[in-house]
Structure formats: C-alpha cells, structure tokens
Amino acid sequence: MLPYYLWTFTLLGCVIVWRLADDTVEASFKSASSGEVALRRFSGLFEIVAGASFRSTRLVQVQESLGSSGGPVCKQMRRLDRILACTEVRLSDFLHALLQAVTLWDFHVLVALERWREANGCHVAEWFDAFGELEALASLASLAHAHPRWAFPEFSEDDPPLLDAADLGHPLLPPDGCVVNDIQLGPPGKFLLLTGSNMSGKSTLLRAIGVNVVLAQAGAPVCASRLRLPGTRVFTAMYVHDSLTEGVSQYMAALNRLKLVVDAARRAEAESTPFLYLLDEILQGTNAAERQTAVRKIVRHMLHVGAIGAISTHDLTLAETEDLGPAADAVHFRETIEQTATGATLSFDYKLRPGIATSTNALRLMEIVGL
C-alpha cells in the first residue's frame, strides 16, 4: 500500500532512534531486571499468602494489604515477569535487530515497564512491609509451635508494677537441661539481690529474665509456666568489654553503660512508665572499697526513681546497710563440693534459695584447675 522508499525512510529513522537511545534503554532494562530478581525470590511466598485462608482479623488485614490498584501482588509480579521476558529478545542479535528496525520493540517494552512502575512502584514498599509483618508473626508462631509448654505472658497495668514468673528458664537452653526458677521483681522500692559463687548461674538467670521479657513484649510465648508483667522498658548492664580502638578500659565501658541505664531510668520516672533493670556484677575493674560505694549509690538511685529489677554481686555485705537491707529480696545459688580420688569437684543445681550466699568457691576453682 506504500511505496518502498517510504519504508526505507521509516526503517532508517527507527535505526537512528535505536542507536541514539540504546544505552539509556539498556540501563533501564538492567535496573529493572536486577530489581525483578529480588522480587522473584518472594513471588512464590506472595502466592502462598494470597491463597491462604486466614481467620485472624490482623492476618486478613495483612493479606488484603498485599494488593495494589491493579490487583493482587502475585498478579502484578506475573505481569512484570512477562514484561521483562520481552527484554530477553536482546539476547538474539538477529531477531532483536529486525524487531527494533521494524517496530522499535525496546521502546514498547520500556513503555510497558514504565506503566507498571507508575501503577505499582509506590506499592512495593507497602507489599514488603506487610510481608515483613507476616514473616515476623510466622516466626513467633513457629516458636510457639516448637515449644507447646511455654506460656503466653499476661500483661498487667497494676500500680505498683510487678513482674511475677513461675518456672522461668532461659529460652536457649535445651528443655532437658533447663533448670527453672520462680522469680518476682518489684514492687518499686524493692530489688532482687542475687548472690552465689562463680559458675552458679547468676548471669544466666539475669539473661533469662531479660530475654523472656523481650519475647513477651514482642508477642511471643515465654520460657515459663506463667509470666505476669507490666509493659516495661528493659535496660541491662552485663557482659561489658573494653575497647582498644576507642581507648576505653573495662571500668570506663562499665561506667558508660551504667550512665545509659541511669539516664533511661530517670526518663522513665519523668514519663511515669515502668522500668526494668538487670545489673550483672557491675563496676568490676576498680578496688573493692570504691566499687562497694558506687554500687550502693546506683542501687539507691534505682530505688529512688521507682524502677524494678535485679542485681547480681559477689559483695555479700550489700544488704547489710540500713536503707538497702529492708529493700533487698536476697536469693542465692549454691554449689556442692565432692571429694573424689582425683581431687575435689564442684557441681551446681542452679536452684534459687532464699537469703545471702553462705559460701565462695574462687580458691577451690583455682585448686581444681591446677593453680
């Protein structure tokens, strides 16, 4: 229907436009392809979520949010797959050159890609926010499924705040080797004073309390038969290290950490929000006399601001002062020393007992290891 020379001009114009814009088009395709690879990793999971039947109101809301103005996520991802499949024509030099010269194929594909971006680009972040929430909920559900004996926590708005746990254990210990204990922290004006010899389980108990409180506030079950607690901030000072690169000694690192805890406790008091602290043998690295004075001031401050918490220490005189004695709920771990043919051995049952520890084992441990 048209003279051949008109086709010649048309083809020539297509080739010129193609060569001038080829680098830009190639860059756009590469960018889209790299993003599509990331999306494709989740396409199967999005399809599972879209086809699932949820009864929970929150899960239904998350499922409904996995859509856009153009339809469900899986439908839009399949559409993106088809568009990007059209870009693979570039892998065939002859076919690509023919289609480009006759139809400017890449430009049509690029227009389709830009339309997909306009329709869905603003929703991609929402898709992954929703999927991230669903993945987090699935992780908590998996934890509950793996530990059917764990209890879900009960949150209270009691005044004064109180943490009460029965059969509390460390979540990372295997069930057959996890020793559990009953714990009560609070009310304000009281603190748990945890004493005991080396290796008896003081640090593990403090970590068990902290990890379970964090799990509880994340919506997970806890390693306990019962846990009642307020919604609280959790701050700890344990396992503090020095830093050669920053020029910070262990004692200075401990001070910095304590400053963080103390400031947070002050803010919690000003905002009238519950505050939970866990302090594990703090301020090691200085002489005993100054450490005793400093630790007592820290504990008095925590009592003054109405925080609840626990502190482990080797200072058996901490509860002997007039003001701290009545405020201390003293508990301890103890060890059993057995004499064998090869020498003395220590064993621990990791069970809490009331009162201050009545024995130490530092010298005995030195003897056992041959010092």
Percent of the chain with pLDDT over 90: 40
Do 282 and 140 belong to one domain?
no
The domain boundary residue, chosen from 125, 146, 167? 146
Looking at residue 71, its pLDDT comes to 66
Do 224 and 117 belong to one domain?
no
Looking at residue 155, its pLDDT comes to 96
The domain boundary residue, chosen from 94, 118, 146? 146
Please state the pTM of the whole predicted model.
0.78
Integer Cα distance of 129 and 41 in angstroms: 16
Ordered alpha helix ranges (H), 52-104: 57-65, 73-87, 93-103
- Arithmetic mean of pLDDT, 302-330: 91
Per the model's pLDDT, the better-predicted residue between 310 and 323 turns out to be 310
The domain boundary residue, chosen from 146, 162, 181? 146
Interval 216-233: pLDDT, tens = 999 999 999 999 999 999
Looking at residue 241, its pLDDT comes to 80
Do 166 and 305 belong to one domain?
yes
Looking at residue 273, its pLDDT comes to 93
Do 215 and 326 belong to one domain?
yes
Domain extent for 34: 4-146
Residue 176: CATH number of its domain: 3.40.50.300
**C-alpha 314: how far from its chain's center?**
31
Do 97 and 163 belong to one domain?
no
Total of domains in the chain: 2
- Arithmetic mean of pLDDT, 291-304: 92
* CA–CA distances in Å: residue 208 to residues 166, 170, 370: 12, 4, 32
Do 130 and 158 belong to one domain?
no
Confidence of residue 83 (pLDDT cuts 50, 70, 90): confident
Do 257 and 313 belong to one domain?
yes
Q: Are strands 308-312 and 328-332 parallel, antiparallel or unpaired?
A: unpaired
Q: Would you give the DSSP letter of residue 98?
A: H
Do 305 and 218 belong to one domain?
yes
Identify which of 323, 317, 368, 322 has the alpha carbon closest to the alpha carbon of residue 347.
Answer: 368
Do 101 and 176 belong to one domain?
no
Do 284 and 230 belong to one domain?
yes
Do 358 and 308 belong to one domain?
yes
Q: What's the one-letter identity of residue 196? A: G
Do 228 and 134 belong to one domain?
no
**Residue 242, phi then psi, degrees to nearest 5:** -80, 175
Exposure string for 34-61, b = 16+ CB within 10 A, e = fewer = eebeebeebbeebbebeeeeeeeeebee
With both helix axes pointing from N to C terminus, report the angle between 4-51 and 57-65 in degrees, rounded to the nearest 10.
Answer: 170
